[in-house]
Amino acid sequence: MLNINYRLLLIILPLIITSTITSESFTEIKSVQSFAQTRASNLISIWPRRPPRKPKTSRGSICSISPPYGTYIVWHNRPLFLWKYSGADKQVKIVLREYEGNQDTVWEQPVTLSTQKLLYSKNTPLEAGKFYQWRLVNAENNLNKITDWQTIQIMPSSEREKIQSDLQALEQNLKINKAPSEEIALRKAAYFSNYQIKHQNSEPTNLWSDVLQLLHEINNPSAEYTELLKKYTDNFCQQTPTQN
């Protein structure tokens, strides 16, 4: 019969099992970390270029990001309103009004400051070519402003339709090549970051508000995408934007 030292076996066996599990777990962790780093690198390589320098538009602990940014013209007729906030949370309202005429209120919606973004949600989209203004106000009193009025114009129909056609062609080509949703969003956002808008008596600029809106439209984004998006969005509230 084999002379087995059971006491020694009881000591060694758990160590062997633990060592094996630890080794396998470590390998798995390293593999996950490597995948995450590769994914982040791939996203960075196609991320839209950073915005140009622009003075902050802020009131205390809140910074109004967009729209507008760089240009008052926006392509989306259901714009995404973005701001950065670092204070105690509270209930406010976003108010959107017509710029001309009686400046009638077009849409208003309650929101908490910590949400830091709100998509225009009215059934009727904003009119192409028309000017509007938006700001955040106190939840109980529209006259008690939290941010200043920001003026925007929905892009006129002819140019909107051209861009719509370009984006559809771009997305169709990417889907044929089985590009993931995050890459499609990034490629379309890059299109806007390179699309030049010319204003009278001013330098050409790009559709930065539309860039931001596309980047924020992704459902269930990866952790890497979410982190890069936060850093990128923060650039829009800095005097000198930083790299991703």
Q: For 203-218, write each residue's pLDDT tens digit.
A: 889 999 999 999 999 9
Number of folded domains that form the chain: 2
Predicted confidence at residue 150, as pLDDT, reads 95
The pLDDT of residue 239 is above 70: no
Domain-embedded: residue 126: yes
Backbone angles phi, psi at 130, to 5 degrees: -90, 150
Average pLDDT, the chain: 84
Domain-embedded: residue 227: no
Predicted confidence at residue 35, as pLDDT, reads 42
Spatial contact of 40 and 117, defined as CB atoms under 8 Å apart: no
pLDDT tens-digit map of 63-113: 889 999 989 999 999 999 999 998 889 999 999 999 998 999 999 999 999
Domain-embedded: residue 58: no
Distance CA 17, CA 28 (A): 17
Spatial contact of 126 and 120, defined as CB atoms under 8 Å apart: yes
Predicted confidence at residue 183, as pLDDT, reads 94
Q: 10 Å Cβ neighbour count for 161?
A: 12
The pLDDT of residue 38 is above 80: no
Predicted confidence at residue 34, as pLDDT, reads 46
Domain-embedded: residue 237: no
- Do 100 and 146 lie in one domain? The reply is yes
Range of the domain at 69: 65-154
- pTM exceeding 0.85: no
Q: Place 137 in a pLDDT band, splitting at 50, 70 and 90.
A: very high
